[in-house]
């Protein structure tokens, strides 16, 4: 199994990997690689983790200009692709058409010994892709769906394709799992067990979303992007206190569009999401950090620790000090 990514114009190889047998055969090891992107392309990293049947890759890069690269792969793979930020496209003779991803989109791709070119167009690019051995992946496919049966037949005939011609939106549940994978700090066999569970959970959400055949969004593309911008603002500014009008005006929309669109995209209200995100962050700091409860309360925007404790109890049915005293048993 080998992969090569190179720049035909400059003549340099960026990535060249001969992946270990652990991708298909269980040798008990997890292999990890980190590739750093350097000028003239931009700056950033791409982190790879591989073990039996699974290869996980995620990265975050800042590009100065549009980047065109070429790739060659001598193996078959089913890829769970998540485009978190930025715009990318891949063109290969296997497909016969350009496969494009924009921010917040995901899909499942079967690739048979692909070669071609990739374009990256976006100041900040953030992706996560999980490659599964085809025989391993097909074990999870339900048999009572035309969509899944068509995809299974394509894998058997080694015809590269997308499981769905239209990309789906990344849900809040998916975002949480993607974040868990990216920030996993476990080691050895415990890391593998954890990541295997997260990959299975993520695949479940993708297949469920496909099976439900959700109707397309009623939002305009420009409004959808603004609502994702509000989500990103909330995640990065947990200590802020903004009204719905403030948030709407910040991204150039109105209160009605924000309320309706956020509920449609994420299945919850703006402030329920904000509160849940605060509580999840607080829980993580309580279990994994050394900050006291007053400090955590302040970081997530509660000036009164008693108000924070009350909100935390409503969410998890126990007070913050009790969670910390259990030493992570409830995590």
CATH number assigned to the domain comprising residue 203 = 2.60.120.10
CB 209 within 8 A of CB 255: no
Find the range with the poorest average confidence among 97-101, 247-251, 318-322, 325-329: 325-329
Q: What is the mean pLDDT of the chain?
A: 82
Residues 201, 225, single domain; the answer is no
**pLDDT category, 331, cuts 50, 70, 90?**
very low
Catalogue the E-assigned strands of 133-264: 161-162, 168-169
Q: What is the pLDDT of residues 90-136, one digit of tens each?
A: 887 777 678 889 889 999 999 887 777 788 776 788 999 999 999 88
Cis? peptide before 40, omega within 30° of 0:
yes
* Domain that residue 241 falls in: 221-325
- Select from 224, 269, 220, 223 the least CA-distant residue to 244: 269
Residues 125, 53, single domain; the answer is yes
Q: Is 309 part of any domain?
A: yes
Residues 116, 205, single domain; the answer is yes
**CA 95, CA 114: separation in Å to the nearest integer?**
9
Looking at residue 25, what is its pLDDT? 44
For the chain, the residue count is 331
Residues 153, 125, single domain; the answer is yes
CB 23 within 8 A of CB 3: no
The total domain count for the chain is 2
Q: Is 330 part of any domain?
A: no
Looking at residue 16, what is its pLDDT? 52
Token pair listed for 225:
């992007």
Q: Which of 177, 212, 247 is the last residue of a domain?
A: 212
Looking at residue 88, what is its pLDDT? 87
The dihedral over CA atoms of 247, 252, 253, 259, expressed in degrees to the nearest 10, equals -20
Q: What CATH number has the domain bearing residue 238?
A: 1.10.10.60
Residues 111, 194, single domain; the answer is yes
What residues contact residue 287 under an 8 Å CB cut-off, 6+ apart? 323, 324, 328, 331
Q: Which of 212, 242, 266 is the last residue of a domain?
A: 212
Residues 140, 160, single domain; the answer is yes
Looking at residue 223, what is its pLDDT? 86
Find the range with the poorest average confidence among 8-22, 158-172, 253-267, 278-292: 8-22
Residues 34, 114, single domain; the answer is yes
Q: Is 247 part of any domain?
A: yes
Q: Which of 159, 185, 212 is the last residue of a domain?
A: 212
Q: What is the pLDDT of residues 231-288, one digit of tens each?
A: 889 988 888 888 899 999 889 998 888 988 888 888 889 988 899 889 988 988 888 8
End-to-end, the C-alpha distance of the chain in Å comes to 38
């Amino acid at each position: 199994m080998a992969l090569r990514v190179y720049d035909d114009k400059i003549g340099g190889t960026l990535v060249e990997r001969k992946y270990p047998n652990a991708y298909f055969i269980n040798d008990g090891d997890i292999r990890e690689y980190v590739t750093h992107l350097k000028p003239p392309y931009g700056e950033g990293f791409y982190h790879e983790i591989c073990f039996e049947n699974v290869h996980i890759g995620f990265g975050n890069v800042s590009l100065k200009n549009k980047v065109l690269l070429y790739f060659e792969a001598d193996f078959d793979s089913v890829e769970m692709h998540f485009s978190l930020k930025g715009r990318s496209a891949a063109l290969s003779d296997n497909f016969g058409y350009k496969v494009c991803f924009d921010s917040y989109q995901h899909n499942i791709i079967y690739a048979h010994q692909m070669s071609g070119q990739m374009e990256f167009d976006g100041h900040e690019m953030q992706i996560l892709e999980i490659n599964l051995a085809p025989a391993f992946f097909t074990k999870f496919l339900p048999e009572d769906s035309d969509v899944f049966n068509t995809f299974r037949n394509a894998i058997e005939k080694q015809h590269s394709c997308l499981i769905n011609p239209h990309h789906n939106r990344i849900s809040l549940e998916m975002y949480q799992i993607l974040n868990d994978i990216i920030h996993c700090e476990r080691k050895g066999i415990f890391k593998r067990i954890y990541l295997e569970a997260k990959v299975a959970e993520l695949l479940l959400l993708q297949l469920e979303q496909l099976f439900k055949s959700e109707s397309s969004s009623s939002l305009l593309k420009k409004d959808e992007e603004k609502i994702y911008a509000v989500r990103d603002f909330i995640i990065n500014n947990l200590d802020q206190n903004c009204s719905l009008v403030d948030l709407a005006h910040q991204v150039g929309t109105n209160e009605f569009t924000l309320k309706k669109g956020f509920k449609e995209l994420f299945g919850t209200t703006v402030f329920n999401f904000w509160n849940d995100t605060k509580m999840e962050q607080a829980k993580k700091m309580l279990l994994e950090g050394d900050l006291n409860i007053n400090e955590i309360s302040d970081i997530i925007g509660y000036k009164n620790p008693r108000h924070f404790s009350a909100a935390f109890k409503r969410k998890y049915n126990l007070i913050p000090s009790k969670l910390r005293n259990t030493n992570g048993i409830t995590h």
